[in-house]
Amino acid sequence: MKFLSCRDAGKICDYVAKGDSENEVLSDAMRHGREVHGMEEEDFSPQMKEKMRSLIRDEEDYIAAS
């Protein structure tokens, strides 16, 4: 399992995107960004997606940091 914390991405929000792959985590995080934070598709530039991808942690790293 992989995780991306909304707080790690710079938002004051306790949501954590989860998935079995980086692509699943990114899809979950982008859906959350659109639905909760009012982000638009154009907000998810290739640079933003790469930054988000760099913040994804494996389960053991996520638990150790919590």
Q: What is the pLDDT of residues 32-45, one digit of tens each?
A: 999 999 999 899 99
Q: What is the pLDDT of residues 11-64, one digit of tens each?
A: 899 999 999 999 999 999 999 999 999 999 899 999 999 999 999 999 777 676
> What does pTM read for this prediction?
0.86
CA–chain centroid gap for 34, Å, is 12
What are the C-alpha distances in Å from 55 to residues 26, 48, 63?
Answer: 10, 11, 14
Q: Any idea how long the chain is? A: 66
Share of the chain above pLDDT 70, in %: 92
CA–chain centroid gap for 4, Å, is 4
Distance CA 26, CA 50 (A): 10
Q: Is the pLDDT of residue 66 over 70?
A: no
Q: Which of 27, 11, 17 is nearest to 57 (CA)?
A: 17
